[in-house]
Amino acid sequence: MAQQTYTVTGMTCSHCVNSVDAELRQIPGVTDVQVDLASGGVTVTSEQPLDETAVAAAIDEAGYELAR
């Protein structure tokens, strides 16, 4: 198992959290997603390390931005 933490900008409510969670869970191999609205922190657990491009695309699809 691999665990990676990202910072997402633009989230302001529980709907934002749910959108980010749902999009990230669609990435193959993702087993868990934990989103902290207050900090913008997102911890993704997956079977293998994820490609950051795929993570950024999922977050973009949800309507938010991966902080770099």
Per-residue model confidence (pLDDT) at position 38:
96
Contact criterion met (CB below 8 Å) for 56 and 50: no
What pLDDT is attached to residue 68?
77
Q: In angstroms, rounded to a whole number, what is the distance separating the alpha carbons of residues 21 and 14?
A: 10
Q: Identify the pLDDT of residue 31.
A: 98
Residue 66: CA count within 13 A, CB half-sphere: 19
Give residue 59's pLDDT.
Answer: 98
What are 13's two structure tokens? 């409510």
Going by pLDDT thresholds of 50, 70 and 90, the confidence category of residue 67 is very high
Per-residue pLDDT tens digits for 10-66: 999 999 999 999 999 999 999 999 999 999 999 999 999 999 999 999 999 999 999
Model pTM?
Answer: 0.94
State in words which class domain 2-66 has: alpha beta
